[in-house]
Amino acid sequence: MTEEKQFNFQIKGIEILDTSVVRPKNKVDGNTVFGFDLQLQHSFNLEKKLVIVTGNIVVLDNNSKDKLGHVNVSCLYYVENLDQYFENKTNTPNLPQGVITMLNSISISTIRGVMYGIFRGTFLNGAILPVVNPNMQIKK
């Protein structure tokens, strides 16, 4: 039976990297159905013991597929003993799937709140990111 390492972490920061609101070609109203293209990428800073989850979300008009806006946000997590989760020979990360799912879930929820704040008072006020599966494929 393999012993699981305890995963101690804390949220260190939220960085808004880029945002946009694009003038719609068609009228956006209460009947507009929004679509979302969500991509997550994990990166690491071993020196500072950081796991960085960067989310890029494009908001689309679901009917026309026109881009209406986007946000690009990084969530930074300090991880105790981060080096324990890297292969020595290849220096590649080996985080447990449960940890990846947890960090994705926290990051997606955080980005949802950031989106709400950024889009408040615009025609994208109703573009609320739905609940998504945090087990999504990530870019490393």
**SS3 state of residue 116:** helix
- What pTM, to 2 d.p., does this model score? 0.89
Please give the domain boundaries of the chain with CATH numbers for all domains: 9-119 (3.10.420)
Q: Is the pLDDT of residue 79 over 60?
A: yes
Do 64 and 24 meet the contact criterion of CB atoms below 8 Å apart? no
In degrees, rounded to 5, the angle at the alpha carbon of residue 74 between the alpha carbons of residues 49 and 109 is 110
Confidence band of 3 (pLDDT split at 50, 70, 90):
low
For the stretch 86-131, pLDDT in tens is: 987 888 899 999 999 999 999 999 999 999 999 999 999 999 999 9
- For 29-55, what is the mean pLDDT? 95
Q: What is the pLDDT of residue 78?
A: 98
Q: CA 51, CA 104: separation in Å to the nearest integer?
A: 11
Start-to-end CA distance of the chain, whole Å, equals 29
